């Protein structure tokens, strides 16, 4: 069975509530400042033109000359960014990160503040091992070429893992990049000490989805971080790629220590950072 992760170009449908919200903001702005545009679409165009400098340079022209949905998306990304929410690049594509930022923005609008647990999920921003950025050139400079098996090391896992798709297969060792080997062992030692073997099983922190895997990101030409052996997947069944924190089990409070142990070593959870692919953790920023 194949599980696909770090697939960052997911494009989702714009939810109906995004249109409703846009209309609300437009109406409020008109009420406050008088008539500044004939309709919502024209208003969005004006706002995008005013804020050209904030649009992703690679996408600015396409957004400004694009269709209504792309402009709506870019404008909501802009509003979320201005509100201090991380919606990623302002590219006019509705993906999981935009979706989460939009839902936070909606909450903020309706309640005047974010709920406390929203803020609690802000990941630790530490990088004691100086993991590189997740850009191919940076990854190669730090880790060497992808799919290079001579850079891998076999490590003993501090507690017994099982293959997520075949629980009868026990996993005591795995191959990973030599530069991340010690860090993985330190993290899993802490996990074992904190949770204990029974709790580990209960939380399914032993259901292993793999580490080294010489493959490209799905639908793209870029290498997956798994191709360097610097990413691990856990419990893919209950943390599916497109699931957000409303469904992914690893978003629950009892996994807070699990993520803290990784983040203390500079590892990045795509779930905590961008609210998708909650199975995945990587030694790249
Ligand atoms: Zn992964």
Q: What is the pLDDT of residues 142-165, one digit of tens each?
A: 999 999 999 999 999 999 999 999
pLDDT-derived band at 53, boundaries 50, 70, 90: very high
Whether the per-residue pLDDT at 123 is higher than 80: the answer is no
Taking the centre of ligand 1 as the mean of its atom positions, its distance from the CA of residue 282, in whole angstroms, is 8
CA dist., res. 226 & res. 217, Å (int) = 9
Taking the centre of ligand 1 as the mean of its atom positions, its distance from the CA of residue 280, in whole angstroms, is 4
Which residues are near ligand 1, the ion (C-beta closer than 5 Å)? 5, 231, 233, 280
Torsion angle, alpha carbons of 177, 178, 184, 189, to 10: 150
Pick from 32-46, 145-159, 251-265 the range whose average pLDDT is largest. 145-159
Taking the centre of ligand 1 as the mean of its atom positions, its distance from the CA of residue 155, in whole angstroms, is 18
Taking the centre of ligand 1 as the mean of its atom positions, its distance from the CA of residue 221, in whole angstroms, is 16
- Domains parsed from the chain with CATH numbers: 16-120 (no CATH), 136-282 (3.30.1380)
Taking the centre of ligand 1 as the mean of its atom positions, its distance from the CA of residue 242, in whole angstroms, is 12
Of 98, 96, 103, 94, nearest to 14 by C-alpha is 94
For the stretch 174-226, pLDDT in tens is 999 999 999 999 999 999 999 999 999 999 999 999 999 998 876 667 899 99
Taking the centre of ligand 1 as the mean of its atom positions, its distance from the CA of residue 248, in whole angstroms, is 14
The reported pLDDT for the residue numbered 118 is 58
Taking the centre of ligand 1 as the mean of its atom positions, its distance from the CA of residue 106, in whole angstroms, is 30
Phi, psi (degrees; rounded to nearest 5) at 233: -120, 140
What mean pLDDT is predicted for residues 16-32? Answer: 89
Taking the centre of ligand 1 as the mean of its atom positions, its distance from the CA of residue 236, in whole angstroms, is 9
pLDDT-derived band at 121, boundaries 50, 70, 90: low
Of 243, 273, 282, nearest to 88 by C-alpha is 273
């Amino acid at each position: 069975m194949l599980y696909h992760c770090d697939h960052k170009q997911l494009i989702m449908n714009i939810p109906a509530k995004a249109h409703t919200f846009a209309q609300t903001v437009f109406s409020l702005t008109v009420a406050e400042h008088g008539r500044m545009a004939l309709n919502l679409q024209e208003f969005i165009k004006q706002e995008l033109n005013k804020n050209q400098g904030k649009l992703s340079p690679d996408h600015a022209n396409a957004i400004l000359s694009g269709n209504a949905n792309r402009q709506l998306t870019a404008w909501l990304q802009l509003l979320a960014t201005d509100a201090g929410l991380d919606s990623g690049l302002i590219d006019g594509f509705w993906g999981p990160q935009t979706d989460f930022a939009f839902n936070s923005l909606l909450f903020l609008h309706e309640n005047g503040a974010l709920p406390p647990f929203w803020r609690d999920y802000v990941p630790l921003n530490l990088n004691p091992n100086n993991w590189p950025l997740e850009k191919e050139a940076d990854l190669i400079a730090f880790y060497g070429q992808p799919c290079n098996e001579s850079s891998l090391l076999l490590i003993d896992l501090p507690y017994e893992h099982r293959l997520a798709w075949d629980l009868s297969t026990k996993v005591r060792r795995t191959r990973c990049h030599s530069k991340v080997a010690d860090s993985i062992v330190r993290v899993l030692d802490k996990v074992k000490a904190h949770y204990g073997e029974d709790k580990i099983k209960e939380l399914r922190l032993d259901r292993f989805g793999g580490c080294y895997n010489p493959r490209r990101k799905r639908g793209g030409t870029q290498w997956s971080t798994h191709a360097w052996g610097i990413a691990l997947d856990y419990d893919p069944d209950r943390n599916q790629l497109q699931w957000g924190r409303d469904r992914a089990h690893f978003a629950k409070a009892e996994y807070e220590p699990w993520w803290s142990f990784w983040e203390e070593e500079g590892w990045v959870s795509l779930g905590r950072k961008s609210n998708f692919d909650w199975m995945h953790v990587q030694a790249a920023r």
